[in-house]
């Protein structure tokens, strides 16, 4: 099976399909007769299939376009990885996010991204570890995140397309 892997093309296609994707989200939340557990299983199945075929280091679009919410634990781990104190790391890389009541990186793209690779990969934040969040329980209750990530992540875009083809 051939997947769309170019992040610029994925963004364009997801934008073109925005109305369709929004309707499918509504279908999954309101009209699909599958239980939430079965929808989760389908998301996980397609996520595992697609992610084997797409090399995130060739894309890194999530690191280029998004700001993960960072916990104090995340900041501690990244600071230690770089041999910096907590405060020195914060002074160099972090700002407060008033909307989410937490911290985010001070720039987009991520200041720790170099040549599409995370310079603190083994100590990366939890939100980065779990991205694109497709294998989470009760996925149906956070479909807006999936919908929004369709234009950012080729994996999400392809999984959503496969789900539409199968279920709709």
The pLDDT profile of the chain, 168 residues, written as one tens digit per residue, is 799 999 999 999 999 999 999 999 999 988 999 999 999 999 999 999 999 999 999 999 999 999 999 999 999 999 999 999 999 999 999 999 988 888 999 999 999 999 999 999 999 999 999 999 998 899 888 899 999 999 999 999 999 999 999 999
- Which stretch of DSSP H or E encloses residue 113? strand 113-114
* Alpha-carbon span 130 to 47, nearest angstrom: 12
Is pTM beyond 0.85 here? Answer: yes
Between CA 134 and CA 131 the distance in angstroms is: 8
């Amino acid at each position: 099976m051939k997947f769309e892997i170019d992040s610029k093309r994925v963004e364009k296609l997801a934008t073109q399909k925005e109305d369709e994707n929004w309707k499918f989200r509504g279908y999954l939340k309101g009209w699909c007769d599958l239980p939430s557990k079965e929808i989760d299983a389908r998301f996980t199945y397609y996520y595992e299939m697609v992610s084997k075929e797409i090399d995130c280091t060739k894309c890194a679009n999530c690191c280029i376009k998004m700001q993960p919410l960072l916990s104090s634990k995340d900041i501690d781990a990244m600071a230690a990885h770089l041999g910096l104190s907590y405060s020195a790391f914060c002074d160099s890389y972090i700002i407060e996010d008033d909307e989410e009541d937490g911290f985010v990186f001070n720039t987009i793209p991520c200041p720790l991204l170099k040549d599409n690779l995370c310079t603190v990969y083994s100590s990366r934040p939890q939100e980065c570890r779990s991205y694109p969040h497709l294998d989470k329980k009760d996925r149906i209750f956070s479909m807006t995140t999936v919908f929004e990530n369709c234009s950012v992540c080729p994996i999400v875009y392809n999984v959503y397309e496969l789900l539409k083809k199968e279920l709709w």
